[in-house]
Amino acid sequence: MFNINLRRDSRKLHRWGAILIALPFLIVLLSGLFLQVKKEFNWIQPPSQSGSQIGASIPFDSILTTAKSIPKLNVSKWKDIDRLDVRPDDGIIKIRGLNGWEAQIDSHTGQILQVAQRRSDLIESIHDGSWFHDKAKLWLFLPSAVVVLILWLTGIYLFFYPYFAKWYNRKRLKKRKQNRQKE
């Protein structure tokens, strides 16, 4: 019915699986490399500044007023803000706009410390597939990850098979030799 040859079938799976996932895997690989070094390059993620004091005391309405005063953030109401990242130990609040720009303000005075584009969130959405389409994570990148797992398994098998075959042949020949000596 089925003619299963594990070695031959592993090579086929390995070859065709690699072709199927080449592009999604390359995207994940390259974006992952950028994410690994995001704190090393200001172009990817702006460095964190330091505020005047530890803790946070600025009221939320002041944060929104400050955000509105920064043209690059393009904020006119709370819905235009993606997130606030409060760093009490650094004395700063990071305001991330929906457009990928980030402002860092002093958490006590409200003074603007830095305004820069933050590309790490974009790279992260490319990395997980959500940048392409909401369903790309589940229907393209997840199956690709499963195929990578299969490639890993078949690769391990193909790597160790010659060593196992040599060991098995030596064992078989040794046993044959012992049987001949008994006769």
**Is residue 86 very low, low, confident or very high in pLDDT (cuts 50, 70, 90)?**
very high
- The answer to whether residues 113 and 144 belong to one domain is no
110 has pLDDT over 80: yes
C-alpha distances out from residue 178 to 12, 158, 172, 181, Å: 39, 31, 10, 5
Query: Residue 1's pLDDT is what?
Result: 60
- The answer to whether residues 38 and 50 belong to one domain is no
Q: Specify the residue for token string 């994570």.
A: 137
- The answer to whether residues 90 and 54 belong to one domain is yes
- The answer to whether residues 32 and 72 belong to one domain is no
- The answer to whether residues 157 and 97 belong to one domain is no
Number of structural domains (the chain) is: 2
Top pLDDT among 27 and 3 is at: 27
21 has pLDDT over 90: no
CB 97 within 8 A of CB 81: yes
* Extended beta strands in the chain, E state: 81-87, 92-97, 101-106, 112-117
Between helix 6-20 and helix 142-182 the angle, nearest 10°, is 160
pTM value surpassing 0.75? no
- Contacts of residue 138, Cβ cutoff 8 Å, sequence gap at least 6: none
- The answer to whether residues 16 and 60 belong to one domain is no
Helix (H) or strand (E) holding 85: strand 81-87
Domain termination residue (choose one: 86, 118, 150): 118
Q: 148-181: per-residue pLDDT in tens? A: 898 889 888 888 988 998 999 998 888 888 888 8
- The answer to whether residues 95 and 157 belong to one domain is no
**Is residue 34 very low, low, confident or very high in pLDDT (cuts 50, 70, 90)?**
very high
Query: Residue 81's pLDDT is what?
Result: 95
Distance CA 56, CA 53 (A): 8
Query: Residue 68's pLDDT is what?
Result: 95
Distance CA 177, CA 75 (A): 84
Q: 35-84: per-residue pLDDT in tens? A: 999 989 888 888 888 888 887 889 999 999 999 999 999 999 999 999 99
96 has pLDDT over 90: yes
- The answer to whether residues 114 and 69 belong to one domain is yes
Q: Which two tokens stand for residue 54?
A: 């530890």
- The answer to whether residues 62 and 87 belong to one domain is yes
CATH code of the domain containing 94: 3.10.450
Mean of pLDDT values over 13-24: 84
Q: 114-155: per-residue pLDDT in tens? A: 999 999 989 999 998 888 998 988 888 888 889 989 888 988
Q: Which two tokens stand for residue 90?
A: 């650094």
Residues facing residue 115 across a β-bridge: 103
Domain termination residue (choose one: 118, 148, 163): 118
Distance CA 183, CA 171 (A): 19
Residues facing residue 97 across a β-bridge: 81
Top pLDDT among 8 and 107 is at: 107
State which residues form the domain around 53.
Answer: 46-118
What is the per-residue burial (b if ≥16 Cβ within 10 Å, else e) of 136-152?
Answer: eeeebbeebeebbeebe
